[in-house]
Structure 1
């Protein structure tokens, strides 16, 4: 594709984002940045969250990963669907009842300041790494499509990418994100639909023919019942539930958008409609994955070594100009829809959880810049060591960093016991270490068993058990008994 077309597409796209930012950030303040003044329409949040949840990882990695593990990822998505209902029924009412800006403030009320700080710290680490991994994808595509032609190094591409995100989020924050996510979701889903149409026309398939080609393909098998495989149904399904609870329900990034809705009922309605759309969107990406491999086979195309490069390689080189343009819009929108909200959530969490919300707009701006710089460093380092599918890397990291949050919230909501707050940080640090050791030696210790995404559940369980060990029962009953005897 002509590099100046690429430049025009990206420039025009960001021009549109900057216009939205200017409109939504007028008369903005810290409350606008953190909560959007709690005036976001639920349907707007629901649609925008599709793009934020799918992100560049789904857009790039899921279609390519079909070549490695077929449709086994859909088992994980089914678990996600159940997980969203748990979030809507349990966590959303809690957050609205407590009127939280940062959801980790709950840990302070339930346990104490030590637990509160370590919980927020794990979010900051998790979100920084996860968002950086996702942004790594779009930076790689822009490098391939535009910057390589000018001999510009990858780190410059990353710097420009993050600078653009900072430029349209530093004023309006979450209020701007709610609106830009809507636009980005539209571009992302539109790109996938157009790509599928192009492939179907090229292969001269009817609607029935498409269904038959996908159904007959070896790449469309869904269920895996081998208990030792990381793709086993039960591992994927229950891990899918746990991942949604922690990466959405216990994640400031996703919850901050839900908490911009007017009330609990509208936030729950947003989750219900979004969860259904999320499943359908993932199904569409998996169908695209099969069609990409069928197209390549039919045309005798030599595929790139990394499955993450499959969609970009075919779209930019074999699907024509229009599809290439919409692909660039789609991948840019997909990656930025999660990265921009992540940057906003990181800033919010640090300001509220560590600075107690007592920040001027100037200080908030400096923190926003700080997290932008941290993401830049993480992406550059990851580009040097990455040797696997990014979708696998993201959830693997989540298993270690979100596990303590899962254990903390599960214990807080499911038990009335009181913990020794000063020991909680130690438990939260030891838990991922123990989980890593178990995962490393699982085949030797557990008769060939290999962990997949369910590692998150193990991590959360270890944290939960650790909290039990440093806890005691409430003494309110004893106190009441004494007062009665008097």
Structure 2
């Protein structure tokens, strides 16, 4: 694809985002940035969240991963649906009742300041890594499609990409994102649909042939029953449930959008309708995955060593200008919709949870803007480092990392909701640091220790359980001390 076309697409897309930013940032303040003044229509939030949740990871990695694991990813998404129901009927009412800006304020009310700061810190680490991985994909595509033609190094591509995101979010934050996400979701879904249609045309097939092509392909296998496999249905389904609760319900990035709705019922409708749309959208990406392998096979195109590269390779070099253009728009939309909300959520959490910005009446806006700039630079650095060391599928990498960093968060919230006991708040940080370390040791040695058993995404559950056991030990120890002193 011509670099000039790529530049024109990016420039036009960014111009639309800046127009939205201009209108949504009028009379904005910190409340606008953090909560959108709690005036967001639920249906707008639900639709926009599809693009943010799918992200560049889904857009590129899920179709490519079909060649490795077929449709077993759908087992995970089935679990997601149950997780979203838990979020809608358990977590949303809790957070609205407490009138929270940051959801980690709950940990302060339930356990104490150490637990509160620990939970927020684990979110900041998790979100920084996850968002950087996703944005890395978009920067990589832009590098191949445009910047390589001019000999521009990758770090410059990353810097320009993240600078554009900072420009349209720094004034109104979450209010702007609610509206830009609707635009980005539209482009993302249009891109995958148009890609499917274009591939069918290249294969001399009609829409009516799609079901037959997909159902007859061995890559459409959904269920894996082998217990030793890390794609086993029960392990993957349960992981889908709890990763959704952890990475969505206990994630400031996602819940910040839900908390901009006018009331609890609107927020619940938002979550439930979003979950249905998310499931159907994932199906589209899995269908696309089968089609790109069908196309590569029929045209004798070698499959890249990294399956993440297959869809970009075909879209930018084989499908023609239309498909290449919509692919580019889709990946940019996916990356921006994920990274912009992550940047805003990181800024919100650090300002509210770590700096307690509400006590600094005279300088709140300046502090928020400096923090926003700081996280922009942090994400830039992480992406550059990740590019130097990446050697695995980004889908697996994102959720694997999340299994270790979101585990303590899931354990903290689960213990707080399931039990009423007080704990020794001062020791919570040590438990939350030890838990991922023990989980990592188990994961690295599981095949040798457990007769070939491999952990998959369910490592999150092990991590959370270790955290909960540690918290219970703190509770028992405190009770024992009280008994002895009497």
Taking structure 2 as the reference length, the TM-score comes to: 0.97
Query: Does residue 1:406 correspond to 2:410, yes or no?
Result: yes
1:442-453 residue pairs with structure 2 within 5 A?
442-453=446-457
Query: Does residue 1:467 correspond to 2:471, yes or no?
Result: yes
> Matches of 1:206 and 1:148 in 2, distance apart?
36
Question: Which residue is equivalent to 2:145?
Answer: 145
Which of 452, 459, 470 in structure 2 is aligned with 1:455?
459
> Matches of 1:296 and 1:30 in 2, distance apart?
50
Q: What displacement does 1:363 show?
A: 1.5
Q: What displacement does 1:205 show?
A: 1.9
> Matches of 1:356 and 1:385 in 2, distance apart?
35
Listed one character per residue, the Cα deviations across residues 345-367 of structure 1 (whole Å, up to 9, x for unaligned) are 00000000011123521221110
Where 2:452 maps in the other structure, the secondary structure is: coil
Question: Which residue is equivalent to 2:216?
Answer: 216
Question: Which residue is equivalent to 1:156?
Answer: 156
Which of 404, 412, 419 in structure 2 is aligned with 1:415?
419
Which of 381, 388, 393 in structure 2 is aligned with 1:389?
393
Where 1:418 maps in the other structure, the secondary structure is: coil
Query: Does residue 1:257 correspond to 2:274, yes or no?
Result: no
Question: Which residue is equivalent to 1:128?
Answer: 128
Listed one character per residue, the Cα deviations across residues 409-453 of structure 1 (whole Å, up to 9, x for unaligned) are 000000011100001000000000000011111111111110000
1:76-475 residue pairs with structure 2 within 5 A?
76-358=76-358, 359-472=363-476
> Matches of 2:303 and 2:227 in 1, distance apart?
31
> Matches of 2:315 and 2:442 in 1, distance apart?
41
Q: Indicate if the aligned counterparts of 1:46 and 1:273 stay in contact, CA closer than 8 A.
A: yes
Question: Which residue is equivalent to 1:54?
Answer: 54
> Matches of 2:171 and 2:395 in 1, distance apart?
31
Change (3 A) 1:40 1:474: farther
Q: What displacement does 1:473 show?
A: 10
Q: Indicate if the aligned counterparts of 2:197 and 2:207 stay in contact, CA closer than 8 A.
A: no
Q: Indicate if the aligned counterparts of 2:76 and 2:237 stay in contact, CA closer than 8 A.
A: yes
Corresponding pairs, count? 476
Q: Indicate if the aligned counterparts of 1:417 and 1:472 stay in contact, CA closer than 8 A.
A: no
Gaps of 5+ in 1: 479-486
Q: Indicate if the aligned counterparts of 1:120 and 1:353 stay in contact, CA closer than 8 A.
A: yes
Q: Indicate if the aligned counterparts of 1:188 and 1:331 stay in contact, CA closer than 8 A.
A: yes
> Matches of 1:85 and 1:329 in 2, distance apart?
32
> Matches of 1:324 and 1:121 in 2, distance apart?
40
Q: What displacement does 1:300 show?
A: 1.4
> Matches of 2:208 and 2:82 in 1, distance apart?
30
Q: What displacement does 1:474 show?
A: 10
CA RMSD across the alignment: 1.2
> Matches of 1:73 and 1:272 in 2, distance apart?
21
Q: Indicate if the aligned counterparts of 1:418 and 1:473 stay in contact, CA closer than 8 A.
A: no
> Matches of 1:50 and 1:447 in 2, distance apart?
40
Gaps of 5+ in 2: none
Where 2:178 maps in the other structure, the secondary structure is: helix
4+ residue runs of structure 1 moved beyond 3 angstroms? Answer: 472-475
Listed one character per residue, the Cα deviations across residues 97-146 of structure 1 (whole Å, up to 9, x for unaligned) are 00000000000000000000000000000000000000000000000000
